[in-house]
Structure 1
Amino acid sequence: MNDQMITKHISFLNRRNAQASTMIHRRGQLERLSAFLGKPLLAASAEDLDRWQQGLRVCASSVQTYSSHVRAFYEWAHESELIGENPAKNLIMPKIARRVPRPIPEKDLALALIAARYNHQLFTWLLLAGYCGLRAAEISKVARGDVRIDGEGGAFLTVHGKGGSDRVVRVPPEVFKELDAHLHRRQGPIFRRTNGSPMTPNGVTQIASGHLKGIGLPYTLHTLRHRFATALCDIGADIRDVQAALGHRDLATTSIYTAHNVRRGSKDVDRLGKGLRALNRRQPPVRDKT
């Protein structure tokens, strides 16, 4: 019965055109929950789910992710009238502190690029992350048909982002020179593994992050995306343009990059402090000669 319910739910997600990764993670989480319960998923009580959640030995972020999958399943079951009450409706969702961006420093990015010259595919990945803001999964999906070349030496790239949301990002001329070398492949993703099969998101992450670790840098590929965002904010780019470039649905998510950036407002703060000059010109205190 559990396998049938899980299959039925995944079929529902498929008809809604859910991301393949979402369906894989949803199925895995429901199978693990089924093993924990030892009874049909639809027979679970609120107490059962609370006991399951309290037994999780993972970080708060993972608890939130696992719980979201479980809540979505029971909401679907309730709306489909497979159960009378939703046992997950009061399942606690941990509050996650907003993460602070951790951009790779410019000198370390330069070192990473120099060290990647031996592998042109890896070199291009670093450029797409650090200068165009692409995630690992987005890099793995780049295809020739996604690239529209302009008359200024650069291009516009259609990026296939999270949740099936596409966006268009600018590829600067200097970056496009490197990307162009991979556009000879007419069918499918342009980045490939050594056996010719398409590069996976996990493969991009592991290779790029392994490269950074191998040269002694404590960063991941995603910190290059953070660098892209903070650098844009640093030069005064409009926050909504940054939001569009990153593919954020919520402007609040993008705002963490402006909050992180203190250099941008430093001149204004210095200008505010200039008022102290008049006070500093005051007469020195009279010394007591007695």
Structure 2
Amino acid sequence: MWDDFEDFLHYLTVERGLSKNTVQSYKRDLRQYLSHLEKEESVTGFDQVNRQQIMNYLYTLNDKGKSPSTIARLLSSIRLFHQFLVREKKSGKDPSLHIETPKKDRKLPKILSSTDVEKLLGLPVKDDLTARNKAMLEMLYATGLRVSEMVALKVSDLHLTMGFVRCIGKGNKERIVPLGDMAKEAISEYLNGPRQRLVKQKSTEELFVNHHGNPLSRQGFWKILKAVAKDVGVTEEITPHTLRHSFATHLLENGADLRAVQEMLGHADISTTQIYTHVTKTRLQDVYRSFHPRA
């Protein structure tokens, strides 16, 4: 069983081209599932697995207090694994067929107000590191990139004259995202001296680097973001994804086409992008209730 599990991880990495983080997520999910089959169901081969045994696992997760969204994610991993086993003729059946996915609690993403965005992007440039920080914040708000995508950018991915950045997203898919004038200006200022002084003599290709001149990590950016938010007086809870959510919501509020926003965000399915239309409706309702005399 565990050899088939390793083959599946190899398939995700090599054939599907999924990122290391995504593969690790599948790995965690399926380790729990396989351990349950061995311990609770006494399964030694995948042809022995039936629908009820998978349902037992999902019930166990529910009893442990796992949320519907977590259970839905785990079921998605299980389905993909069993589909792989059938396709590779390692199993003669897919017991995960016809198992209904739990309805997810659809939480609306938290976004920043325009005022808080202005505070963040108004970060004063005092030295090389604040020039870098300003360039990163402008980049995220201008493009809606995921933080993992931003820290992976190379200098060669920038096309400032044409006003766009080339990005490699989930599933190793390439997309081109426009850059606004303010972002181009901040990035140009960062490239025109600060980055070279941070890199020193190193041949680092990544666009954004830490104070040692090495590529910046996602965790490194998160620390920077929290520190900047505190310095400029943003009291709302903020994560690296907050700027991505704000980018999408503010575009839609100002009349952007949903399909265009989907393309810029790199969403494979437009239903993922539609969550932001719910955010804009909720904000309109809040404004109505706050200001209409008969609300």
2:215 paired with 1:198 = yes
1:211 to partner: Cα distance: 4.6
Whether the aligned pair in 2 keeps the contact of 1:46 and 1:88 (CA below 8 Å) is: yes
Whether the aligned pair in 2 keeps the contact of 1:157 and 1:170 (CA below 8 Å) is: yes
TM alignment of 1:50-65, pairs within 5 A: 50-56=55-61, 57-65=65-73
Work out the CA distance in 1 between the residues paired with 2:175 and 2:284.
29
2:115 paired with 1:112 = no
Cα distance, 1:217–1:44 mapped onto 2, change above 3 Å:
same
What does residue 228 of structure 1 align with? Answer: 247
Amino acid at match of 2:15: R
2:53 paired with 1:48 = yes
Work out the CA distance in 2 between the residues paired with 1:202 and 1:18.
23
Whether the aligned pair in 2 keeps the contact of 1:137 and 1:202 (CA below 8 Å) is: no
Q: Spell out, residue by residue over 1:166-208, the C-alpha distance to the aligned partner (whole angstroms, 9 max, x if none).
A: 2111112221222232465664322234454433334434542
Work out the CA distance in 2 between the residues paired with 1:139 and 1:199.
10
Amino acid at match of 1:45: N
Cα distance, 1:45–1:204 mapped onto 2, change above 3 Å:
farther
Work out the CA distance in 1 between the residues paired with 2:93 and 2:142.
50
Amino acid at match of 1:149: L
What does residue 205 of structure 2 align with? Answer: 188
Amino acid at match of 1:6: F
Secondary structure, in 3 states, of the residue corresponding to 2:272?
A: helix
Work out the CA distance in 1 between the residues paired with 2:4 and 2:161.
50
Whether the aligned pair in 2 keeps the contact of 1:129 and 1:225 (CA below 8 Å) is: yes
Whether the aligned pair in 2 keeps the contact of 1:78 and 1:84 (CA below 8 Å) is: yes
Work out the CA distance in 2 between the residues paired with 1:212 and 1:53.
40
Cα distance, 1:263–1:34 mapped onto 2, change above 3 Å:
closer
TM alignment of 1:70-149, pairs within 5 A: 70-114=78-122, 117=125, 119-149=130-160
2:272 paired with 1:253 = yes
Q: Give the % identical residues.
A: 24
TM-score (norm 2): 0.76
What does residue 37 of structure 2 align with? Answer: 37
* Number of residue pairs aligned between Structure 1 and Structure 2: 263
Secondary structure, in 3 states, of the residue corresponding to 1:150?
A: coil
Q: Which runs of 5+ in 2 are unaligned?
A: 286-295
**Coordinate RMSD, CA, aligned:** 3.1
Amino acid at match of 2:244: R
Cα distance, 1:97–1:27 mapped onto 2, change above 3 Å:
closer
1:16 to partner: Cα distance: 1.0
What does residue 23 of structure 2 align with? Answer: 23
Q: Which runs of 5+ in 1 are unaligned?
A: 267-290
Work out the CA distance in 2 between the residues paired with 1:177 and 1:218.
28
Work out the CA distance in 2 between the residues paired with 1:243 and 1:103.
17
Work out the CA distance in 1 between the residues paired with 2:284 and 2:227.
35
Larger Rg: 1
2:179 paired with 1:179 = no
Cα distance, 1:120–1:59 mapped onto 2, change above 3 Å:
farther
Work out the CA distance in 1 between the residues paired with 2:45 and 2:26.
14
1:23 to partner: Cα distance: 1.9
Amino acid at match of 2:279: H
1:34 to partner: Cα distance: 2.4
Work out the CA distance in 1 between the residues paired with 2:54 and 2:246.
40
